[in-house]
Chains A and B, each alone.
Chain A
Amino acid sequence: MGMPMLIRAKQKGENTEVKVLVKHDMETGRRKDEAGNIVPAHFIKTISASCEGKIIFEGELGPAVSKDPFLSFSFKNGKKGDKVSITWVDNKDDSRTDETKIR
């Protein structure tokens, strides 16, 4: 399930700027805990963004993306009130979708 993402979609002229902060440990599988045991890899593999059902942006992430991944991008043809939806899937097949409206 994961924790909710923070998503902001703001209209700036003809562009909509999207900022996403995902809550995820993004474990590389190389780190050791206090007891010296390797912490298994646990990271988001794909993330996709859509506006009113149309895909606008996709990412494939490796474990080298920082803990609690941040992404920012912008797109055209959005307008205030449109729904922006973001979905991620991790390497344990956990997934989460959150959405916001363009402001």
Chain B
Amino acid sequence: MNERRRAIIKSLSVYSMAVATGLMKPLSALAVDWEKKVFELSKLDDVIAALGGNFQVSDGVVLVASEIAENGAVVPISVESKLPNTDKIAILIENNPNPLSARFTIHDGTDPEVKTRVKMAGTSNVHAIARSDGKWFMATKEIKVTLGGCGG
């Protein structure tokens, strides 16, 4: 009994040391899986299909971004959902090599609003989508880019 307890305490301290030194990922980092097959799709229609089909255009999704981005490497984007039970928010950039730029999971008690910065290869429609009660809703805005952000 005593030895078992010690073994547990020992393994716990090894675990926390491993986390602290960055050797092991803490469990919280494993909660979402990066979905390679969706992030690597190159056509918007394929991304829409992979996420479950039609996105209904809705005023309940608010996409805030300036119409002209001088630097495509850093385009500030804000997405807010006013729809009930929003649990996912994603940003799709139609003309980027891979349209899906980021997808966020909104947990209970967290506001369905996120601000971030993305790269845009050139002028493109940007679609902000939010999942409310299992259905996706969308807001679209064209952002003109004067200097592309994907290098090369």
Contact = CB atoms under 8 A, between A and B. Distances in A.
A73 B112 CA distance: 8
B116 A58 contact: no
A63 B119 CA distance: 8
Interface stretch (B1-9, B25-33, B57-65, B134-142): B25-33
A48 B32 contact: yes
A57 B106 CA distance: 5
Given A48-B32, A67-B73, A58 B105 contact: yes
A57 B104 contact: yes
A36 to B, nearest CB: 10
Contacts of A31: 150-152
Contact of B105 (A1, A57, A88, A95): A57
A76 B98 CA distance: 33
A73 B114 contact: yes
A29 to B, nearest CB: 10
Interface string A1-40: 1000000000000010000000000101011100000000
A100 interface: no
B26 A97 contact: yes
Interface residues of B, number: 42
Interface string A35-58: 000000000011010100001111
Given A28-B150, A70-B117, A55 B29 contact: no
A75 B104 CA distance: 14
Contacts of A75: 107, 109-111
Contact of A65 (B29, B32, B117): B117
B18 to A, nearest CB: 11
Contacts of A73: 104, 110-111, 113-115
B102 A58 contact: no
A26 B74 CA distance: 12
Contacts of A32: 151-152
Contacts of B101: 61-62, 64-65
Interface of B: 19, 22, 25-26, 28-29, 31-35, 39, 73-75, 93, 96-98, 100-107, 109-111, 113-120, 149-152
The 7 closest A-B pairs by CB, nearest first: A31-B151, A45-B34, A64-B101, A66-B117, A72-B115, A58-B105, A75-B110
